[in-house]
Structures are given as structure tokens and as C-alpha cells.
Amino acid sequence: MKKIIIIGAGAMGSAFTVPCIENKNEVILVGTHLENDLIENIKSKKNIHPILNVKLPDILKVEKFEKLNSILKGGVDVIVSGVSSVGIDWFVDQISKNYKKKIPIVLLTKGLAIVDNEIITLSDKIKKLFKDQGQEDVNISAIKGPCLAAGLANKMRTGTVIANPIIKEAQFLKKIISTDYYSTEISDDLDGVELSGAIKNIYSMLIGASEGLSNSEVSLDIQSKYYLNTSASLIHRSISEMVDFVSHYGGKSDTVYGLAGLGDLYVSAIGGRNSLMGKYLGQGHLYKEVKEKFMKGVTIEGAQLALEIGPKILQDLESKKFPLMFSVLNTICNNKKLEINW
């Protein structure tokens, strides 16, 4: 039995408690400083999560942010990040105060960052933040793949990949979290897994736009029935660009064809918020219009990532090599109509 603390009580962090507990680990779910109401809601409803609409295990310990420091001081075996990408600085600030050398840090968080005018992975950003505080021996893994939170919470069969440059660290995590419904692969390509897991959100918006991009001269009814030719073409071209992107930033091209790339792209493209945003964009709506009229208050990870790193990509990379990505980034960052050069 290992003691696992999961910081961030959103959908994915909370769903991840299920396989961890299934392996007879002691699991503590701690909300962020912004999630006190959510934690109270979960507790008052006897561990029913209001977002997942699923009852989490009775033995799961659910705590408010104020308990975080005391839990870390008491010692844990694994620290899991269930916060969003914008919360990574806050996450490191909280755990670094009581971080003990080589304790595994696991990233469920997907995203990339710009540090010193360079695009880097979240694990590299965390290492830099720790280094700035005089700590260099930090053990970081990432878990990525086609895993919808509600599906995992309901114990639907799911496959993910655990990445760490030191394979034995990934093997350790695999041993303590895998179940008959939550299978895990291991990889030493941490960069490739993180890069794939992040940029698939951008391409899933594009694939979500398939109906509108299929043929603007026919009715919406015809588009909705026969758009799959277009969708398949965009998937193929998206994967090709993802391979080039991941290779450009230091990952292995083969990783894109695995769970973190192709697998996660498939899940995101056939449903979810990124795909829905893409559908509206494909219909000719502008990004800001969609956010205001149709998806107000909804977090769209692909759009958020585009706004964070898009200007840098548009500046540094060649549009001829990444035409699909450039189309999406121009649509989001510059609020232009989505157009594809076929």
C-alpha cells in the first residue's frame, strides 16, 4: 500500500482516485484554494462528485486546501497533479515547501508552456521552478492517453501510457495504479508523450470542424451525413503534422502513433469540448463569437493552449510544414474564420 495525494478535485483528478484505491492504496483527494465549495459538496453528498455524477469510493479521503501542507509534512509516496495547466506554478509553489527528494510527481495535467521565450513541456517547467528554489533532484512522470474522466470513474476499460525517462519509475507507478479496467503502458519518452497529449487538443478542434469543412455548398443535413471522408483526411494529415511537431521539439515520432497521440486524438475528436468548439468554427463562427454565444464559461483546452503558445509557433515554425496547425492558430489567436488549404 502506498500513500497517494491527488491535488485538484476536478473531473480527472477525482476520477483517478478510483483505480488508485482499487489497488488498495491510501488515497487523499485535496482541492485547490479555489475548490473549497466543491470539496464541501462532495463531502456533503457522501463522495458523490457533482461534475462526474459518480460516487467515489467511501474510503477516499477528501480534504480542503488548508490540509495540504500538513498532509505533505506527514509524508506521502506519490504526488499527483490534477490541476489545470494554468495552475502549475501554484502547484509547484505548494508542494516544493515539503517535497522530499525523488518522491514521484505524476502529471495528469496536459499542456505546454513558454519559459525564457521557448516552448517547453510542463515537466520541464516544473523542473525549472524547483531548480529556481534550489531543488534539482525531482522525479516527474506523466500519464496521458484516451481517458475521459467520467468513463474512468465508471470503471470503463481504459488504456493510458506512463512516461518517465527512468523506466523503473514508470514501472513502479504501473504496479500501483493498474487494474483490470485501467491498463497502462510505459515509455521513456516523456517529452513525446507530453507533446502529443497537449497538441492533440488543437487538432481535435480541427477534426471537430469536419462537417462544416466538408462542402459548404450543400445543406447541413448532407454535411452531417457524409462528412466522414473529410474527417478521415484531416485525421491523417493531423497525425503527420503531430509527428513533425513532436520531433521538432525533441520527442520520438513513434510516440505519436500510440495512446498519447493517435489514441487521445481519436477520443477528443469524436466528442468533448474541443470537438464542439471545432464544430462551431467549421460552421463559420468566429472563436470569440462561439465563446460568447455558445460556450461561455466553458474551458476549451485546445483553445487555451492555442492562445498560450500560438503566437510563438506562428512566429517560429513554417506554415508550409504545419498548414493545419497554422489554420487553427490563426482562427483562435487572430479571431479569423477557419479556412483550410486543401
pLDDT at 225: 86
Is pLDDT above 80 for 111?
Answer: yes
Size of the chain in residues: 342
Q: What's the rounded Cα separation, in Å, for the pair 146 and 71?
A: 31
Statement: residue 342 has pLDDT above 80:
no
How far apart CA 98 and CA 93 sit, in angstroms, is 10
**pLDDT of amino acid 67:** 96
Residue pair 260/192 in contact (Cβ under 8 Å)? The answer is: yes
Backbone φ and ψ of 205, nearest 5°: -65, -40
The stretch 24-29 carries a mean pLDDT of 97
82, 16 Cβ separation under 8 angstroms: yes
| Residue with cell string 477528501 | 62
Q: What is the mean pLDDT of residues 204-217?
A: 91
DSSP string, 42-96: HHHTTTEETTTTEEPPTT-EEE-GGGHHHHHHH--SEEEE-S-GGGHHHHHHHHG
Homologous superfamily, domain 3-188: NAD(P)-binding Rossmann-like Domain (3.40.50.720)
User: Cell 521557448 appears where?
Assistant: 118
134: buried, middle or exposed (CB in 10 Å: 19+, 13-18, 0-12)? exposed
pLDDT for the residue numbered 218: 85
* pTM of structure: 0.95
Cβ-proximal residues to 337 (8 Å cutoff; 6+ apart), any chain:
284, 286, 331
Q: Output the nine-digit C-alpha cell for 165.
A: 525517462
Summarised one tens digit per residue, pLDDT across range 245-264 is 999 999 999 999 999 999 99
Q: How far apart are CA 18 and CA 16, in angstroms?
A: 5
Q: Is the pLDDT of residue 208 over 80?
A: yes
SS3 call for 292: helix
Question: What is the CATH number that goes with domain 194-333?
Answer: 1.10.1040.10
What percent of the chain has a predicted confidence (pLDDT) above 70? 100
| 266-315 pLDDT, tens digit each | 999 988 899 999 999 999 999 999 999 999 988 899 999 999 999 999 99
Lowest mean pLDDT among 20-34, 165-179, 218-232, 294-308: 218-232
Q: How confident is the model at residue 339 (pLDDT cuts 50, 70, 90)?
A: very high
Q: Decide which of 227 and 179 is more confident.
A: 179
Q: Report pLDDT digits (tens) over 133-170.
A: 999 889 999 999 999 999 999 999 999 999 999 999 99
Alpha-carbon distance 103 to 92, whole Å? Answer: 13
> What percentage of the chain reaches a pLDDT higher than 90?
89
Q: Which H or E element spans position 216?
A: none
Mean pLDDT of the residues in the chain: 95
Domain boundary assignment for the chain: 3-188, 194-333
| Segment 5-19 mean pLDDT | 97
Same fold, 3-188 and 194-333: no
